[in-house]
């Protein structure tokens, strides 16, 4: 892994199984490795041919999972699933979402015809001054991560202005560079912040949750919950119990100023470069939030059920999500909680930005990484030589993993 924050944690997690498991960097001589290999690398550097052809080579990622990590693809898969399962929790715990394709602002009218409910909602806002009664929406590029290109709007004029600014900024940044032949069809973790908007072309528009749960103990700042999830083999899904709450830097003021991203966006990576950033104020443990234990339990149970059915939805679409028995992957899911304490699924992230956890709560990432490595060790790397001590150690490391879905019998939380 290229990220220094993760490298040390990962090496220490594997070190607990030394010398049975030998860890080598990508630069080391591959001939020194044992017959059982594990590729724990960035997505683009994994030898997918070897992983696909061999049952003795293990990977820390799935090759095909755009049906989960692309916002538009996941929205489509959930829509198909809820049409077949009208009583699913996904019907009420995922914001209403529209796929929005746009090559140029000139074609905005045509693009909005494909999501006419958004157009009707903006028109209905005419004459409505109370922000709580206005229909508000949030625009997100399907591929980007870390809060890039995300905007809140409630009028047609504002949407057009935002898009014009984005495309104009992109034209300035391009400087005539060749865009290449990339059709955006790879399954990597998405485009980096600052990726050319003209290469995105695909967005989602979600109904904005303008009545989020606000906690006086945290200055009534909006927050989202980051949930670390382990997908293993073909296919079991585990939720890591120690979740995080990530807060916006400024108090939420009933969404009156949609331009104030410091009140609306809760991505920690957007805050770390500020001179006023305080890690302990931006990131907190979910189970330490100033809420009664029954409410915390209720939110956690909802999240587990939502994630179980989300993977049921995406795994049923094999053209965009395929699982192999010799693969696993860590994901970061984001949830917003509304004022009625309902958890709402926002998005899924491959190769989550563990740095958002920070140094003070680094033990959360360490625990999740130890659990992931223990699962790989017990179920694959040391499967034929698991001793009682190894099994006990692995089970202890996995004690905070909660299984919410297994593909073998479609069992869900």
What pLDDT digit, counting tens, does each position of 255-313 carry?
568 888 888 888 766 555 655 667 778 899 999 999 999 999 999 999 999 999 999 99
Place 197 in a pLDDT band, splitting at 50, 70 and 90.
Answer: very low
Quote the mean pLDDT of the chain.
86
pLDDT in tens, 204-239: 999 999 999 999 999 999 999 999 999 999 999 999
The band of 168, judged by pLDDT with boundaries at 50, 70 and 90, is confident
The DSSP secondary-structure symbol of 300 reads H
Q: SS3 of 197, please?
A: helix
Mean pLDDT of 119-131: 92
CA 358 to chain centre: 17
pLDDT-derived band at 366, boundaries 50, 70, 90: very high
End-to-end CA distance of the chain: 32
Q: Is the pLDDT of residue 363 over 50?
A: yes
pLDDT value at 162 more than 60: yes
**Cβ–Cβ < 8 Å for 241, 361:** no
The residue among 286, 396, 312, 302 whose CA lies nearest residue 343 is: 302
Residue 169 pLDDT greater than 80, yes or no = no
pLDDT single digits (tens) 386-396 = 788 889 999 99
Whether the predicted pLDDT of 183 surpasses 50: no
Q: How far apart are CA 315 and CA 68, in angstroms?
A: 9
- pLDDT band at residue 177 under the 50/70/90 scheme: very low
For residue 173, pLDDT beyond 90: no
C-alpha pair distances (Å), 270 with each of 122, 190, 352, 376:
28, 17, 15, 33
pLDDT, average across residues 65-93: 97
DSSP secondary structure, 234-286, as one string? TTEEEEES--EEEE-SS---TT--TT-HHHH---GGGTTTSTT--HHHHEEEG
Helix (H) or strand (E) holding 346, with range, is strand 343-350
Residue 190 vs residue 47, higher pLDDT? 47
Whole-number pLDDT of residue 33: 41
Whole-number Å distance between alpha carbons of 223 and 234? 33
Maximum average pLDDT range among 29-33, 88-92, 101-105: 88-92
Percent of residues, the chain, with pLDDT higher than 90: 60
Q: Report CA torsion sign: 342, 346, 349, 354.
A: negative
Exposed/middle/buried for 65, CB within 10 Å: 0-12, 13-18, 19+?
Answer: buried
Amino acid 337: pLDDT:
98
Mean pLDDT of 340-355: 95
Least confident of 45-59, 102-116, 143-157: 143-157
């Amino acid at each position: 892994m290229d990220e220094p924050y993760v490298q040390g944690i990962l090496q220490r997690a594997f070190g607990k199984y030394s010398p049975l498991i030998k860890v080598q960097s990508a630069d080391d001589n591959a001939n020194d490795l044992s017959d059982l290999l594990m590729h724990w690398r960035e997505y683009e550097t994994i030898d997918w041919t070897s992983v696909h052809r061999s049952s003795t080579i293990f990977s820390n990622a799935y090759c095909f999972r755009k049906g989960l990590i692309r916002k538009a693809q996941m929205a489509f898969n959930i829509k198909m699933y809820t049409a077949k399962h009208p009583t699913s929790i996904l019907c009420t715990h995922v914001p209403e979402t529209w796929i929005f394709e746009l090559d140029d602002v000139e074609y905005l009218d045509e693009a909005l015809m494909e999501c006419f409910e958004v157009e009707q909602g903006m028109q209905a806002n005419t004459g409505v001054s109370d922000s709580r009664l206005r229909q508000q929406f949030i625009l997100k590029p399907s591929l980007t991560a870390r809060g890039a290109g995300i905007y809140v709007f409630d009028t047609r004029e504002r949407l057009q202005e935002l898009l014009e600014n984005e495309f104009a900024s992109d034209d300035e940044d391009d400087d005539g560079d060749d865009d290449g032949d990339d059709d955006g069809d790879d399954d990597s973790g998405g485009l980096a912040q600052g990726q050319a908007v003209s290469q995105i072309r695909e967005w989602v528009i979600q109904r904005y949750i303008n009545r989020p749960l606000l906690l006086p103990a945290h200055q009534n700042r909006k927050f989202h919950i980051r949930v670390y999830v382990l997908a293993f083999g073909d296919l079991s899904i585990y939720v890591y119990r120690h979740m995080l709450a990530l807060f916006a830097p400024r108090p939420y003021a009933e969404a009156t100023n949609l331009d104030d991203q410091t009140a609306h966006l809760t991505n920690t990576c957007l805050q770390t470069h500020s001179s006023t950033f305080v890690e302990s104020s931006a990131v907190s443990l979910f189970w330490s939030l100033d809420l009664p234990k029954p409410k915390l339990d209720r939110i956690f149970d909802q999240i587990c059920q939502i994630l179980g059915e989300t993977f049921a939805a995406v795994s049923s679409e094999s053209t965009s999500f395929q699982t192999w028995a010799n693969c696993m992957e860590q994901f970061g899911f984001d949830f917003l909680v509304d004022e009625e304490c309902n958890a709402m699924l926002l998005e899924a992230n491959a190769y989550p930005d563990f740095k958002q956890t920070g140094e003070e709560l680094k033990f959360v990432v360490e625990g999740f990484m130890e659990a992931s490595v223990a699962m790989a060790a017990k179920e694959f790397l040391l499967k034929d030589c698991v001793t009682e001590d190894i099994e006990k150690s692995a089970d202890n490391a996995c004690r905070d993993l909660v299984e919410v879905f297994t593909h073998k019998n479609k069992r869900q939380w």
